[in-house]
């Protein structure tokens, strides 16, 4: 039996919700995927592999990490632990 392979060039709709998986009449269905794992969607519609993680700094004890984007050029990582808030930017501790 012949195997059919679909060639999809645009993923601009991202990951489609399970409720929409049968709605082939929608544009979202045509430009989406059922599952996307470890990829970034490019504005042009393509996808590329997500870059790996890197070690930024060691923290004493347990901490909750929160990404904070002030604007497109100022991005910070907040590490909140018992009685301490550490602010990191560009791989260095700021405050």
- 3-class secondary structure per residue, the chain: CCCCCCCCCCCCCEECCHHHCCCCCCHHHHCEECCCCCEEECCCCCEEECCCCCCCCCCCCCCEEEEEECCCCCEEEEEEECCEEEEEECCEECC
Please indicate, yes or no, if residue 57 is contained in any of the structural domains.
Answer: no
Q: What is the pLDDT of residue 66?
A: 92
Please indicate, yes or no, if residue 87 is contained in any of the structural domains.
Answer: yes
Boundaries of domain holding 87: 64-93
Q: What is the pLDDT of residue 80?
A: 92
Q: What is the pLDDT of residues 29-48, one digit of tens each?
A: 888 888 889 988 888 888 89
Residue 56 has pLDDT above 80, yes or no: no
Quick one: 8 and 33 in the same domain? Answer: yes
- Both tokens of 41, joined, read 């969607």
Please indicate, yes or no, if residue 58 is contained in any of the structural domains.
Answer: no
Count structural domains, the chain: 2
Please indicate, yes or no, if residue 12 is contained in any of the structural domains.
Answer: yes
């Amino acid at each position: 039996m012949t195997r059919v392979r679909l060639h999809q060039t645009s993923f601009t709709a991202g990951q489609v919700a399970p409720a929409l998986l049968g709605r082939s009449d929608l544009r979202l269905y045509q430009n989406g995927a059922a599952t996307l794992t470890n990829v970034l969607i490019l504005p042009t519609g393509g996808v590329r592999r997500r870059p790996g993680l890197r070690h930024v700094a060691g923290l004493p004890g347990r901490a909750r990490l929160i990404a904070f984007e002030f604007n497109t050029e100022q991005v910070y990582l907040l590490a909140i632990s018992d009685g301490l808030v550490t602010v990191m930017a560009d791989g260095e501790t700021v405050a």
